[in-house]
Structure 1
Amino acid sequence: MTRRKPPPTEDEAALFRDAIGPVRRLPEAATPASRPRPEPRPHMAERDEHEARGEFHAMLGEGRLEAGDSLRYRRDEISPRILRRLARGQYAVQDELDLHSADSAQAEAWLKRFLAEARAGGSACVRIVHGKGRHGDGPPALKNLVDRLLRRRADVLAFHSAPPAQGGTGAVLVLLRPR
């Protein structure tokens, strides 16, 4: 515990003033202004905006699929042999979703719900019919949406465009991770 010195007595203060001599009082100085605080930044909103812009640019970028392009994807843990078997239609399709009548927002919601329900129901292989996209004047929107969403989902192990007898490049077969 530290001890504080008692304040100087009147005699000590007088001795100090005598030793120093006459003093001149300095003018009162204004207190220095503190630096202004920076404006708060909405970091989460900026991050979300950045991610949304990235997705939008990826959607517009050169990775877009055309009407006749085949979809294919596999996770690293899935062997190329399994993807080849999927491409030949050698897995039994246990459920199907047809997105023909949906716009992009509806298709996204339907696809997410369908995959969650299929996986909860124990389905291992499902077919998603997105159409070939030959009626529009540009890349097929639903086909690109399905490709992008399936690649991002952790419960999707692999997918490939269906064989011609099952819809060809207008449908995709999807292998789901077991529950």
Structure 2
Amino acid sequence: MKLRSLAELKMLQKVIAQRAAAEAAAQEAERRRLIRLDREKRLFELAVGPVQPLVTARRVHHPPRPVDPSPRQRQLDEASVMREALSDDFDVETLLHTDEALSYRRPGLGPDLARKLREGHWSIQRQIDLHGLRTDEAREALGRFVREAHQQGLRCVRVVHGKGLGSPGRAPVLKGRVLRWLVQKKEVMAFVQARPAEGGAGALVVLLR
């Protein structure tokens, strides 16, 4: 038990370090974006030197055209950080509980949490189906889904990763990656393999903070 607790502590420290690195990367991306915007605003001045605007009374003012409010660059930066933050090499095996079915709960949480989740104590409020997505697409889609569900106050969601019947060798490749990604998400408290009526071995029921 002591060795297992030590392994969980090391894994938790690794998760915290990865999260700190992701936050640092996001801050650095934002800093570079602000520098680029400032240089773009002063591009003419930097090219020709100091200038003095002409004074004229016959000036026609053209109001600026509205800009698309979608924060495209921020979304791209977040997607980049998400790819770096969710590692495919994360060792999740020591954190998984394999009793009658696969389950995971954050260190410090009791086994009753996984049992209640498996028994349907929380109703599933939303789901995402990752079938047919490439690895990078699935990683970004899952990260965005979990983040938005948590922001909207949802507690219980389902992640459908499939049983791998269409994969080479009929092995559930995406399932293993989804397990690693979910364990690294700070919003995730626990997850269990879905009941047969909810997708069975091809899906996970996830409890959010």
Shared fold per TM-score greater than 0.5? yes
- 1:154 correspondence with 2:186: yes
Equivalent in 45, 65, 78 of residue 109 of structure 2: 78
Residues 1:100 and 1:57: Cα distance change in structure 2 (over 3 Å): closer
Quote the residue 1:174 is aligned against: 206
CA contact (8 A) 1:71 1:147 kept: no
Shift of 1:57: 5.8
Q: Letter of the aligned partner of 2:208 in structure 1?
A: L
Shift of 1:110: 0.2
In structure 1, C-alpha distance between the alignment counterparts of 2:161 and 2:88, rounded to whole Å: 20
Shift of 1:157: 0.4
Shift of 1:101: 2.1
Q: Letter of the aligned partner of 1:153 in structure 2?
A: K
Equivalent in 53, 78, 94 of residue 125 of structure 2: 94
Q: Letter of the aligned partner of 2:161 in structure 1?
A: H
CA contact (8 A) 1:129 1:172 kept: yes
- 1:103 correspondence with 2:172: no
In structure 1, C-alpha distance between the alignment counterparts of 2:93 and 2:125, rounded to whole Å: 34
Shift of 1:140: 1.5
Equivalent in 158, 163, 175 of residue 127 of structure 1: 158
Note the alpha carbon deviations across 1:109-162, whole angstroms, 9 max, x for none: 000000010000000010000101122234312101110001111111000111
In structure 1, C-alpha distance between the alignment counterparts of 2:186 and 2:89, rounded to whole Å: 22
* DSSP-derived class of the 2:191 partner: strand
Pairs aligned (count): 120
In structure 2, C-alpha distance between the alignment counterparts of 1:73 and 1:121, rounded to whole Å: 23
RMSD: 2.8
Gap runs ≥5 in structure 1: 1-43, 45-51, 64-68
* DSSP-derived class of the 2:159 partner: strand
Note the alpha carbon deviations across 1:56-91, whole angstroms, 9 max, x for none: 6667x999xxxxx95311012321011011122331
For CA contacts below 8 A with separation 6 or more, give which structure has more relative contact order. 1
What TM-score do the two structures reach when normalised by structure 1? 0.59
In structure 2, C-alpha distance between the alignment counterparts of 1:128 and 1:73, rounded to whole Å: 14
Greater C-alpha Rg: 1
CA contact (8 A) 1:104 1:142 kept: yes
Higher percent of residues as helix: 2
* DSSP-derived class of the 1:135 partner: coil
Residues 1:78 and 1:164: Cα distance change in structure 2 (over 3 Å): same
CA contact (8 A) 2:130 2:161 kept: yes
Residues 1:79 and 1:58: Cα distance change in structure 2 (over 3 Å): closer
CA contact (8 A) 2:88 2:177 kept: no
Residues 1:121 and 1:167: Cα distance change in structure 2 (over 3 Å): same
Residues 1:119 and 1:78: Cα distance change in structure 2 (over 3 Å): same
Residues 1:70 and 1:145: Cα distance change in structure 2 (over 3 Å): farther
Among all aligned residue pairs of Structure 1 and Structure 2, give the percentage whose two residues are the same amino acid: 41
Gap runs ≥5 in structure 2: 1-20, 22-83, 95-99
